[in-house]
Chains A and B, each alone.
Chain A
């Protein structure tokens, strides 16, 4: 019998992951590990397979083949054991529009079984500057406010593994900076594991211990931001990103 759990120092383990839609391979045999308490980025141009990979890690999408373990749990067989300890933030997936921000947070907090929920909501409202509009309808929020609400939702259960798709999209530079600081503090305080898909190179350089570079469904390179910049002979991650996206350099 195959093991459904495993222990080890990886919070996320992915091996031989493939996803095919209508004869098109959108994720091609990728394998990677994310160490506990570290922040990793999936970096790549549109269509590189980042969001598809995150969706498979979350159980929202069934892979064509491959294995995924999150917190030692086999996500293809037993994901409900891991999901209460994970969470997900994305500005591209909405929350119920007609509910207030507080109602949304209450609903999701209860779904995740968050303890001391009312107190947790107040804490997050203060930390993420939601207090002024927490009792207003979610549909009346600006995109920046929605992004902060989505992040609050993702932190309700103090997740051990937090997956994020473009966590600071639609935010002004000041708010984006404060969110990054918040994520750094959260990660330090809880030793949570963060995996984010991003196009924002400054964000990746600042937050991430390691970067997985994706192109056309494959992981084409990986390393710390500093290692990648050195390996490609560039000055910034943005230049590395362009090299990889345009396939102009081979590491």
Chain B
């Protein structure tokens, strides 16, 4: 990657931060849902701590689950909403006749997604400390690995959804809001995956998020660094990120062939 390429990626991240800065409700909205979720699950935790031996062993397990899940969800939304902004603005026609390459656009979407996720989930994480005397940072160093893996899976999903919207138009827009929830039951966010029926386990094992949430419980209940689980997550994420970028580039080329870049967003 040369300096021109980095400059264009930086410019596109700047373009998306202009958008954030232009509207304080947008910044508030980033933190709103993660914070509401955190408050809700904080009360649920408080209730279960007195009624469940399992939760009582590690009272932060539910709050950790919801905050980590939000990292995944916000990372995916961060990519797709920034990409949709180009469609709503009917701006792709200008972007793709400029020297900006599609791979550079994808990297800039990842960049703004990181910023949005840190603002959104970071606020909820910090508020949990005074509200519930719970700090996600108590997970220690493994938190960095959890964070990175959930971001990567969120980005892969976001890029795949953006690619499908590029191919099928804004009719596929709702995928941004619903697709990720199909992963929630099989990722074991709030319960160990041995709770799942055996026929669902292969799907669960194919998801990097499963290893992150299992790893989180290993840290909280067994006080061990789950290197084995994290290595599975890293390997799977490498595969999914590669597939997502490949798919985006393939469907971008198809959009150039079909002429949909001329009309998309209309």
**A residues apposed to B, CB below 8 Å:** 21, 51-52, 55, 58-62, 80, 83-84, 86-88, 90, 93-99, 103, 106-108, 110-113, 137, 153
Contacts and interface: CB of A to CB of B under 8 A. Distances in A.
B257 interface: yes
Interface in B208-266: 253, 256-259, 261-262
A111 B262 contact: no
B91 to A, nearest CB: 5
Contacts, number: 92
Interface of B: 4, 7-8, 10-12, 14-15, 18-19, 22-23, 85-86, 88-91, 93-101, 253, 256-259, 261-262
Contact of B90 (A21, A52, A94, A110): A94
A58 B100 CA distance: 13
5 nearest A-B pairs in the assembled complex, by CB-CB distance: A93-B93, A110-B11, A58-B97, A94-B90, A111-B98
Q: Which DSSP category, helix, strand, loop or mixed, fits chain A's interface? A: mixed
Contact of B19 (A60, A96, A113): A96
Contact of B98 (A52, A62, A83, A106): A83
A103 B256 CA distance: 27
B15 A99 contact: yes
Contacts of A137: 22
Nearest to B97: A58
Contact of A60 (B10, B14, B262): B262
Given A61-B259, A62-B256, A93-B91, A99 B19 contact: yes
A60 B15 contact: no
B256 A113 contact: no
B261 A60 contact: yes
